Amino acid sequence: MRPVQRTESDPLASLAALPGVADEMTAAREAIDAVMWDRRVRAASLEIARQSELRGASASAALEGADLAIVEDSPMGRTLLAAQAVTEQVRHEVRTWEHAPLQVLATLHAVAVRALGHDDEPGRPRTVAVDLDPGVDPLRIGMLAPADVVADRLQALARVLVQPTRAPGLVVAAVVHGELLALRPFRVGSGLVARAAVRCVLASLGVDPSAFTIPEEGMLAAGRPAYVRGVQDFASGDPERMASSLIGFARSCAQGAAVVSVD
């Protein structure tokens, strides 16, 4: 899936054209490129990539609420283990993402379910109504999509992702993240999967092919209230609010590049 020029409808490019979005996406891409071309980073590429996984997983777990002292055999401990397992799985899924994103999402969810020790059916989106309990909605985003639309919306997302687009890769990543959190397609682990999917998109589109940056840390640095508000803005469908969500995502990715360091 590579951005190319096209004349027909391009919904991702339409989102990229919302006011203020292009400038913030360009700034974020420049911040990421600076990391990619840093000779010190490239010289320590394996260690930088590994640290990115570990730090990204910790930040992703913290966004789910696992930011206190963690006992491994506890709900928060299992959340951290699941975040680590899902984030580490990304490196094996990048090529598959380019042509079968739903297969990758199913795999990431199966990894999360195993680590969480949950009875949710691995890789299968929810098909029955669920309450907004902490498993489904740990961040209390609300606005949960009904179960009977989840499969269709996932298919629609996949169709968009495998089509060519003029939109920058960061916009594609923002849409994947926003739509998955708006849907919360699984009974558990949707947030972990959504943030891991960001890494898949950025790697598959060549934005951050070596996965050096840590977008999850940028998301966490903005704070949970801002993170939740960004998801709600994306899910609203209102152009102004969606632009705000995309801008916030870009800034998180820029921050995720800024925190990369070489000791």
If phi > 0 it is left, if psi is from -120 to 50 it is alpha, else beta; for residue 140 that is left
Which domains are assigned to the chain? 11-258 (1.10.3290.10)
- pLDDT number for residue 72: 58
Token reading at 164:
């060519």
- Residue 134 CA to residue 118 CA, distance in Å, equals 13
pLDDT of 26: 98
Q: What is the pLDDT of residue 262?
A: 79
The pLDDT value recorded for residue 137 is 85
Characterize 32-70 residue by residue with b for buried, 16 or more Cβ atoms within 10 angstroms of its Cβ, and e for exposed: beebbeeeebeebeeebeebbbebbbbbbbbbbebbeeb
**Opening angle at CA 30, ends 159 and 191, nearest 5:** 45
Q: How far is CA 51 from the centre of its chain?
A: 18
Q: For residues 178 and 234, give the distance between their C-alpha atoms in angstroms, rounded to a whole number.
A: 6
Q: What pTM, to 2 d.p., does this model score?
A: 0.92
As averages over each run of 10 residues, the pLDDT of the chain (263 residues) reads 48 96 98 96 96 96 76 74 96 96 97 88 83 74 88 96 96 98 93 98 97 98 96 96 98 98 78
| pLDDT of res. 134 | 62
